[in-house]
Structure 1
Amino acid sequence: MEDIKELLRLCGIEHGYWDIWGKWHVAQDEAVMNILHGMGVLDGDGYEAALSRLKEDLWLRVLEPVRVVSFGSPVEILLTLPHEKDGFRFEWAVLEEAGVSHAGAFRPSDLQVKGSHEINGRRIFRYSLMLPVSMPMGYHRFLLFSDEEPGGLSMSLIVCPKRCYVPDGLFRDGRTWGPTVGLYALRSRRNWGIGDFGDLKTVIERFSAFSAGIVGTNPLCALSPCDPSHISPYSPSSRLFLNYLNIDIEAVPDFAECEEAKALAGGQAFQARLSHLREGGFVDYEGVAGLKLEVLEVLFRHFKRNHLVNNSQRAKEFLTFKKEGGKALKLYSTFNAISEYFKGRDSAIWGWPVWPEAYQDPDSVEVTDFASKRGDRVDFYCYLEWQAERQLAAIGQRSFELGLKVGLYLDLPVGVDRTGFDVWYHKGLFALNAGIGAPPDAFNPNGQDWGLPPIIPIRLKESAYLPFIKMLRRNMCHNGALRIDHVMGLMRLFWVPCSMKPDKGVYVRYPFEDLLGVLALESHRNRCMVIGEDLGTVPDEVRSGLGEADVFSTRVFYFETKEDGSFRPPAEYPTNALVSVTTHDLPTLYGFWQGRDVEIRDRLNLFPTKEIKGREITWRDRAKAWLFEALKKEGLVSNDMLRGHEIDDKTGLPKKMTPQLVFAVYSYLVRCRSKILAVQMEDLTGELDQANLPGTVNEYPNWKRRLSKDLEAVFEDKDVLPLLEWLRRSFQ
């Protein structure tokens, strides 16, 4: 039993979890065994043997793969050496990122011992070496030399700030507001049936006129280019690259030059298809992809003929982009070309796990040969990424030109699709027999399994956190804020074995302090603030750790209630927070008031019992009464507002949400101390249905629903303009 406990501790596996109702769930043996197998720790020979192997690995390694320390703190290096080397002379060196070097020497006998362990009768000690140097923030290397290791051993040494970057506009009493938009859902008179970077630029420009200082959007990460039905922005193929469907085709420089593309796009048949896509109530991803790819193919051919062949300035920019993208970009483009190739030969080939075995290894000879023989197709996917990157960079630059206090804020998903590029590229980093999820809660009584394979904590540290670092850089470089979905994942994730139900999942811990330090370092380097989506079950150590690191909290109006259920007054909201009425996973304000989500969940049998459904209906009626009472206490509504509306007999309140009530709710949140107010676009356009309904896949049109109004019409709406004007005056 003690061996099992020690093994679980070393692997970060928790013994159970408390749900939101205060019930303790013990981790089941089957779940623990599956997770240990997924981590590559358990190899069929029992817990004792697995623990022995793990301890040997920890105690036979002289240096850790990485050491993360706070700037200004003493730099301690842990060295693991056998007792017989106690009197040996070792030399060390530190090579700073900027090229400055430091050096020294020591004998282990002169160092403090931090622990010991015996392996096969051999006593091994862990020594503490305190470096007599003050290290700047950055990524450095620690080197260790001895007569036995003349070539030296190396370790990554990362020195991090204690806090994340916060823009000047939010210091002291600085506050701001801005819209949050599902980019795909934006309807405009110029887009091609899906919101694009041109629409996002319009959102920034139009809302900045109302003193908006931040504009948020859903993840813009790459989805599967060969499977338009794979549409969830929170289950991307890669968190390193962008979704080509976001490209504003007519803003691509080659479009203005290419008569063939303009003739194609202006043709009667093409325009008929385009009109159909623009008019639909849902995004037709397959239709949009077909339309955009048809023109992008023409633009790429034009670019090759007129720029690459002539080595023009834009050709040089493209070649520089490819060079800077390095191996990752080359393999990402190759991955997409391989996906297209096999999918074209057999539509049943749904992803890399069913490719021929040789192609499942990105470093195989076959993959290299494919990239060489089909270099033109690989370049096409590089071209798509280049255009998306150029347009997003221009949007980020435009937000700063307009003087937004924060600028664009992007959303970082908690994981990636198991059939996508990132898992193929870093296959050994992921546990493929489990999915990330969440334990049961009020909105999801059955628990959740999002199907995203979790990263194995031990292997993440083995990589010196490089995949995490690159992911942050990629998602921070063009924007002023990054929202981290399910930010609790920096400390622990809820692993659900693939063969088990979500409520049988187990929490697995991650190196929280290290990851938080790296996050702070990249935040400062990219001048990008961090907003953590910390909704649901959040351990106290996460709340305090994130707060001390200036990671802004997320506060949703629906959840900000006291023990008796009444709504928390504005003065009690935290300062360093983004406050909103709702999120994409929750009902819109209109839907919440009218119980639309309850109706849909009942229709789809998402309530485990009638009792839970009844509790939800009762709570919703009470919540509306508490909401109205909270607004009355602030002097934002009165009973006079009830006149002229159809009244619900049970609550004595309007049956339907009204623009006046929407105004009152947002006026309530304007009074909060929180530094950022986010206004969901659906609340401006009066949407009844939410973007995503957790617990569903095909039963509900997740990530397909388009806004009911054109973007242009929002700024002409007599019900919307008073609220925008009020926000402008409040945040000037």
Structure 2
Amino acid sequence: MSEDDRLRRLSALAGIESHYWDIAGARHETPPDTARRLLSALGFPASNEAELTASLATIEEREWRRLLPPVMVVRLHHIATVPLNLPADEPRDAVEWRVVLEDGEIRRGTHAHHTLKRDARRFVDGRDIDRLLLPLPALPLGYHEFLLDGFPSAPRMSLVVAPVQCYLPPQLTSGRRLWGLAAQLYSITSERDRGIGDFTDLGTLAQWAAELGADAIGLNPLHALFPSLPENASPYSPNSRLFRNSLYLDVTAIDEYRHSAAVQGPTTKPAFSDFPSTAHSVEFVDYTTVTHHKSGELERLHSEFRRACRVGSDDGRADAFQNFRNRRSEALHHFALFQVMTEVFGTNDWTQWPLPYRDPSANSVSAFTQDHAERVSFFEYVQWQCDLQIGGASQRARDAGMAIGLYGDVAVSVDPAGADHWSRQTLFAGEARLGAPPDPFNALGQEWGVVPMNPWVMRDTAYADFIALLRANMCHAGALRIDHVMGLQHSFWVPRGSPPSAGAYVSYPFDDLLGILALESHRNECLIVGEALGTVPEGFRPRMAEANVLSYRVLYFETEQDRQRRPVEYPYLAATCVSTHDLATLKGFWNATDLDARRRLGLYPTPEHGERARHEREHDKWLLLRALADENLLPSGLDTDRLGDIEMTPALASAVHAYLARSSACLFMVQIDDLIGEDQQVNLPGTSSEYPNWRRRLSRSLNEIFSDPGIVEMVRRISREREQTSGA
């Protein structure tokens, strides 16, 4: 076998796909240099012939060297068999096993050795190894442990029994069509805010929206970002996906704040009120100022909390705090510790810290923890408050009658310089970045600057980190959007420092991850929405539908055979919307403000690409008007023959939303930006500081929005259309 052939074999065994088809149907081969660099990132170095030979031997024999696999994920009521790798020259009379169920119950069994089916044989380390298949009886849902008795070191394997499908709320299993409002939480303005939307605003939004018939509030990811770099505001490049962004805390709603204000009396102005409300005075979030003021106030409140605990006037809150710390355990401690080290060492980039502190398990880190225990406690306290407040907003949504409530969003991965990567370095492939190949909206491709999880390490650790990620983000959520859900099957990896054109797809254990997603969705009663835009693998969407994962349907992309998809043609298991945070608002789409921004910032490979996009936009607008006309939704007096003279008026915007409200999709999400006619999109992919991404605030406050008769009528019209569709 030649070196090229061995490289191809190693790549295939490691999960690096040999090629991919782009959205235009062009085939792209994986270059040898890309394969070698990604193999190294996966833990299989192949930069020279010796490394290639060694890695190929390792990957071919790694499973044969194990008596049991590290984990199995099986489906409920499906026949399951456990593969055992036993030396052929050491026959046994019988194989005895135990399954310890997660509730502690023990199931036992014995199989005669000669009755086990031999699946394969391989010569490893000088002896023949037989792979035998041991059948298991039916087991209940859950996380169990399989053990072999009578073997040295008691071999064990994690055994996950998962449902075939994800959870659906009863309203959806009965055929109802629901709708909800989608908002970027930081963008919300109110008469009481302090420069950024917060969890109290979220509760208010949920309550008011519910009164108008909404069943969900869709949110941007609320992941923790970097206090030391407040202007790095993208929620899709987080410090940690396991914890919350503390800028969303309403400090005036924290018990210590209310208690101290009551003690001081009404004549004493709390320090935080020195920061003026900016709901109507600025267009963008001033993250630096907001971070400075909120951090200072939170420090004061933490000190008050510690004082109350010392004198015994905490009303049981010390026990509640300790329960939270116990529940989140090591992950919370590492996150808080990372925040303190960021302050002490002057950078959040842990690769620039003194060497003894780059490993969270080092003795020097333990000593650091003891020396900074109070500061570590502060960051744990802040996360406790985040959990309490988002839990309160979630409860307000449910109390107001929402069928779903909060609809969260989990980013595809994390910033390589952040807490999650520092605390779990072997989990992430640090020499690669996630991205996407070129498509019509991003002609140059994308490199997102986030680090991928290593699928080999995920499996070796029984998917513990994936499970923790789902639980952290399903907490307090009735629905969860999985950003770039194709990552369950494969992700586009770009070697660090390379352009997206040098990327390739890397496979993930799809069946296992989908099973765990289904199990956690049922355990948390959480609806799953899978964002699958761009290049989607063949057969992926049907597989998602079989698993009750709602597809993500954006109006702009729902065209085929030179026509806009009609409402009755949408699948039921779908979440549909006019636009998203990465695309033009409805008004911006109509006015081509996104195309103007792309041209101005040089995001088109050639001027011809820009001109083609403009012509395609005009054609898409015409298709949409034709579709509205077919549904008898065009506003009166609108002349479709004069497309260039048609403006996106509130009446036309209402018609577009009524069109999607008629869709067969079980969930319709309405961007609050489109209700109030915002022109600029939230985020322009392919830019950083060139465009004010993740900063724009809504031009109208919550009170103004929900007291505007025109907006209220638009929302009521959406509710009526949804109700009529449900009854169809």
TM-score of the aligned structures, taking structure 1 as reference length: 0.95
Task: Decide whether aligned partners of structure 1 residues 668 and 257 sit closer, same or farther in structure 2, where only a CA change above 3 A counts.
Answer: same
Task: Decide whether aligned partners of structure 1 residues 652 and 245 sit closer, same or farther in structure 2, where only a CA change above 3 A counts.
Answer: closer
Moved more, 307-316 or 202-211: 307-316
Paired-residue identity, %: 41
CA distance in 2, matches of 1:208, 1:489: 33
Match of 1:331 among 321, 325, 334: 334
Q: Does 1:729 align with 2:720?
A: yes
Deviation (angstroms), 1:660: 0.7
Match of 1:346 in 2: none
Match of 2:597 in 1: 600
Q: Is the 8 A contact 1:333 1:379 kept in 2?
A: yes
Match of 1:319 in 2: 322
Match of 2:614 in 1: 617
Q: C-alpha offsets along residues 114-167 of structure 1, whole Å, 9 cap, x if unaligned?
A: 122222442222111002x22000000000122x51x41110000000011100
Partner SS for 1:115:
strand
Deviation (angstroms), 1:279: 2.0
Match of 1:145 among 149, 157, 165: 149
CA distance in 2, matches of 1:167, 1:56: 45
CA RMSD of aligned residues (A): 1.9
Task: Decide whether aligned partners of structure 1 residues 116 and 309 sit closer, same or farther in structure 2, where only a CA change above 3 A counts.
Answer: farther
Q: Is the 8 A contact 2:166 2:549 kept in 1?
A: yes
Q: Does 1:581 align with 2:581?
A: no
Q: Is the 8 A contact 1:163 1:548 kept in 2?
A: yes
Q: Is the 8 A contact 2:192 2:277 kept in 1?
A: no
CA distance in 1, matches of 2:275, 2:327: 38
CA distance in 1, matches of 2:344, 2:423: 18
Partner SS for 2:157:
strand
Deviation (angstroms), 1:46: 3.4
Match of 2:376 in 1: 378
Deviation (angstroms), 1:173: 2.2
Q: How does 1:9-24 map to 2 (within 5 A)?
A: 9-24=12-27
Q: Is the 8 A contact 1:264 1:295 kept in 2?
A: no
| Equivalent residue letter for 2:297 | V
CA distance in 2, matches of 1:444, 1:365: 46
Deviation (angstroms), 1:540: 2.6
Match of 2:138 among 110, 134, 140: 134
Match of 1:48 in 2: 53
Q: C-alpha offsets along residues 230-280 of structure 1, whole Å, 9 cap, x if unaligned?
A: 211011111111111111111111111114998999759965642357621
CA distance in 2, matches of 1:177, 1:479: 16
Q: C-alpha offsets along residues 274-304 of structure 1, whole Å, 9 cap, x if unaligned?
A: 2357621000111001111111111111111
CA distance in 1, matches of 2:709, 2:147: 67
Partner SS for 1:258:
helix
| Equivalent residue letter for 1:382 | E
CA distance in 1, matches of 2:39, 2:671: 41
Q: How does 1:102-181 map to 2 (within 5 A)?
A: 102-131=107-136, 133-146=137-150, 148-149=151-152, 151-181=153-183
TM-score of the aligned structures, taking structure 2 as reference length: 0.95
Q: Is the 8 A contact 1:587 1:597 kept in 2?
A: yes
Match of 2:96 among 74, 77, 91: 91
Deviation (angstroms), 1:201: 0.3
Match of 2:68 among 63, 67, 77: 63
CA distance in 2, matches of 1:40, 1:21: 33
Q: How does 1:231-242 map to 2 (within 5 A)?
A: 231-242=233-244
Q: How does 1:360-509 map to 2 (within 5 A)?
A: 360-509=358-507
CA distance in 2, matches of 1:264, 1:363: 49
Task: Decide whether aligned partners of structure 1 residues 571 and 367 sit closer, same or farther in structure 2, where only a CA change above 3 A counts.
Answer: same
Partner SS for 2:698:
coil
Match of 1:284 in 2: 286
Match of 2:632 in 1: 635
Q: Is the 8 A contact 1:598 1:617 kept in 2?
A: yes
| Equivalent residue letter for 1:621 | E
Q: Is the 8 A contact 2:99 2:145 kept in 1?
A: yes
Task: Decide whether aligned partners of structure 1 residues 621 and 262 sit closer, same or farther in structure 2, where only a CA change above 3 A counts.
Answer: farther
Deviation (angstroms), 1:717: 2.0
CA distance in 2, matches of 1:687, 1:322: 41
Deviation (angstroms), 1:581: 0.3
| Equivalent residue letter for 1:181 | A
CA distance in 2, matches of 1:617, 1:37: 42
Match of 2:726 in 1: none
CA distance in 2, matches of 1:109, 1:264: 83
Partner SS for 1:641:
coil
Task: Decide whether aligned partners of structure 1 residues 269 and 400 sit closer, same or farther in structure 2, where only a CA change above 3 A counts.
Answer: closer
CA distance in 2, matches of 1:241, 1:616: 39
Equivalent pairs, count: 717
Match of 1:79 in 2: 84
Task: Decide whether aligned partners of structure 1 residues 8 and 264 sit closer, same or farther in structure 2, where only a CA change above 3 A counts.
Answer: farther
Q: Is the 8 A contact 2:193 2:279 kept in 1?
A: no
Q: Is the 8 A contact 1:261 1:295 kept in 2?
A: no
CA distance in 1, matches of 2:420, 2:481: 20
CA distance in 1, matches of 2:244, 2:635: 48
Deviation (angstroms), 1:9: 2.1
Deviation (angstroms), 1:541: 3.0
Q: Which runs of 5+ in 2 are unaligned?
A: 724-728
Match of 1:213 in 2: 215
Deviation (angstroms), 1:627: 1.0
Q: Is the 8 A contact 2:64 2:85 kept in 1?
A: yes
Deviation (angstroms), 1:6: 2.6
Q: C-alpha offsets along residues 408-463 of structure 1, whole Å, 9 cap, x if unaligned?
A: 11001010111111111110011111110000000000000001111111111001
Match of 2:28 among 13, 25, 30: 25
Q: Is the 8 A contact 2:190 2:279 kept in 1?
A: no
Q: Is the 8 A contact 1:632 1:638 kept in 2?
A: no
Task: Decide whether aligned partners of structure 1 residues 47 and 692 sit closer, same or farther in structure 2, where only a CA change above 3 A counts.
Answer: same
CA distance in 2, matches of 1:233, 1:580: 20
Task: Decide whether aligned partners of structure 1 residues 553 and 308 sit closer, same or farther in structure 2, where only a CA change above 3 A counts.
Answer: farther
Task: Decide whether aligned partners of structure 1 residues 648 and 255 sit closer, same or farther in structure 2, where only a CA change above 3 A counts.
Answer: farther
Q: Is the 8 A contact 1:362 1:425 kept in 2?
A: yes
Q: Which runs of 5+ in 1 are unaligned?
A: 344-348
Moved more, 3-12 or 489-498: 3-12
Deviation (angstroms), 1:681: 0.9
Match of 2:516 in 1: 518
Match of 2:690 among 679, 689, 699: 699
Deviation (angstroms), 1:475: 0.9
CA distance in 2, matches of 1:540, 1:265: 67
Q: C-alpha offsets along residues 74-114 of structure 1, whole Å, 9 cap, x if unaligned?
A: 12101112211234543211111111111122344321111
Deviation (angstroms), 1:638: 5.3
CA distance in 2, matches of 1:289, 1:184: 13
Q: Is the 8 A contact 2:582 2:682 kept in 1?
A: yes
Q: C-alpha offsets along residues 565-616 of structure 1, whole Å, 9 cap, x if unaligned?
A: x211111111111110000000000000000000000000000011211110
Q: Is the 8 A contact 1:83 1:124 kept in 2?
A: yes
CA distance in 2, matches of 1:121, 1:256: 72
Match of 2:6 in 1: 3
Moved more, 97-106 or 485-494: 97-106
| Equivalent residue letter for 1:10 | L
CA distance in 2, matches of 1:692, 1:648: 33
| Equivalent residue letter for 2:600 | R
